[in-house]
Amino acid sequence: MMSVRTRLDRFLSMTTGINRGAVRLMLAKGRVQVDGVTARDIQQIVHQFSVITLDGTVLQENKPVYFMMNKPLGVVSATRDKKHKTVIDLMPPCDSSSLHIAGRLDFNSSGLLLLTNDGAWSRNLSSPENRVKKYYRVTLEKPVMKEYIQTFRAGIYFDYEGITTQPAELTILSEYLAEITVIEGRYHHIKRLFGHFQNRVLNLHRYRIGNLNLDSRLALGQYRTLSENEMRDIVESDPS
């Protein structure tokens, strides 16, 4: 599957093995259609979900798909892994081909995970400009202190990346339980935030991304297709 936008003549040449000169002639003769419309411009841009036919034969007809999963502990957020079961292994092959993960969860974290074959959509979710919030429930080894709230809101310097984290919102639910909202997803991000106070995360569960809540009907390891509204509205204005 094409993963990026490309020129039509380049796509046709790569797909059919026909040289660019012959491709120009095919287009001039009106033998190629893109999304049901005869294409003649060699510089026309096509993408992974463009329906492209040559003399009525389909060369590409991909459909975007979007899934939410309730990821269990002990499963890797990856498409393949030599040692551990992956989230892709939890899905039938017919549903998992060409999927990638839109926002990973650590091996020992659970909850809402999104999978898609639409690269533009997943990049939109992770774009800092869109500031899509991720919501987590955290169980800690030591009591959660009120001083964490302001420190997280001000940002913490991550020496490995040489950056200061974006503001994170912390709500203390009980002595060892809290909810935290972040707009970025760096390596072991939340564990490192609490690690600033030498407080180890015992359990981390993501229950919401943007406007999308984890479906409570999904058991651990189960998944379902996102509705059109869920897929579209997840990156729109957050009501909270």
Q: What is the pLDDT of residues 50-98, one digit of tens each?
A: 999 999 999 998 889 999 999 999 999 988 888 899 999 998 876 666 8
pLDDT over 80 (residue 17) = yes
119, 196 Cβ separation under 8 angstroms: no
Which domains, ranges and CATH numbers included, belong to the chain? 6-60 (3.10.290.10), 66-233 (3.30.2350.10)
pLDDT over 90 (residue 218) = yes
Strand locations in the chain (E): 6-7, 32-34, 37-38, 45-46, 52-54, 57-60, 66-71, 100-101, 109-116, 134-140, 157-158, 163-164, 169-172, 177-182, 201-209, 212-213, 223-225
Between 98 and 40, the higher pLDDT residue: 40
pLDDT band with cut points at 50, 70 and 90 for residue 239: very low
Task: Reply yes or no on whether 118 is catalytic.
Answer: no
45, 8 Cβ separation under 8 angstroms: yes
pLDDT confidence of residue 94:
65
Hey, CA dihedral for 180, 182, 185, 190, is it positive or negative?
Answer: negative
Query: Among the listed ranges 120-124, 141-145, 195-199, which one has the minimum average pLDDT value?
Result: 120-124
Average pLDDT, the chain: 91
Between 146 and 4, the higher pLDDT residue: 146
Spatial separation of the C-alpha atoms in residues 22 and 217, rounded to whole Å: 54
pLDDT over 50 (residue 176) = yes
Percent of the chain with pLDDT over 90: 74
Q: What is the pLDDT of residues 179-209, one digit of tens each?
A: 999 998 888 999 999 999 999 999 999 999 9
**Of the residues 106, 118, 159, 238, which is catalytic?**
106
pLDDT band with cut points at 50, 70 and 90 for residue 236: low
Q: What is the mean pLDDT of residues 116-122?
A: 90
pLDDT band with cut points at 50, 70 and 90 for residue 158: very high
Between 170 and 124, the higher pLDDT residue: 170
pLDDT confidence of residue 95:
62
pLDDT confidence of residue 235:
77
> Which of the given ranges, 89-93, 138-142, 160-164, has the highest pLDDT on average?
138-142
Q: What is the mean pLDDT of residues 103-118?
A: 93
pLDDT confidence of residue 146:
97
CA-closest candidate to residue 238, choices 171, 184, 181, 180: 181
